[in-house]
Structure 1
Amino acid sequence: MKRRDFLRATGGSGGAVALGSGVAAGQEETGTTTGTEGGGGGGPTETVTVGPGGSLVFEPAELTIATGTTVNFVWDSNMHNVVPQSQPEGANWEGEGEQGVTFDAGHEYSHTFTTTGTYEYVCTPHESAGMVGTIEVVEELQSGGGGERELHEIGAPIHPHWVGAATILMMFVSLVFTFYVLKYGESPNTGNTGGGE
Structure 2
Amino acid sequence: MDTELSRRGFLASVAGIVGVGVTGEAAAQENTRTIDMTDDLVFAPDSAAVTPGTTVVWENVGSIGHSVTAYEDDIPEEAEFFASGGFDSEQAAREAYPDQGDIPGGESYEHTFEVEGTYDYFCIPHESVGMVATLEVTPDAGEEEGYTSLLPAKAQQLAVWAVAALVGVLGFTWALLKYGGEYGEGSEGGESE
Higher relative contact order (CA 8 A, sep 6+): 2
Instruction: Give the TM-score taking structure 2 as reference length.
Output: 0.49
More strand by share: 1
After TM superposition, the score normalised by the length of structure 1 is 0.48
Larger radius of gyration: 1
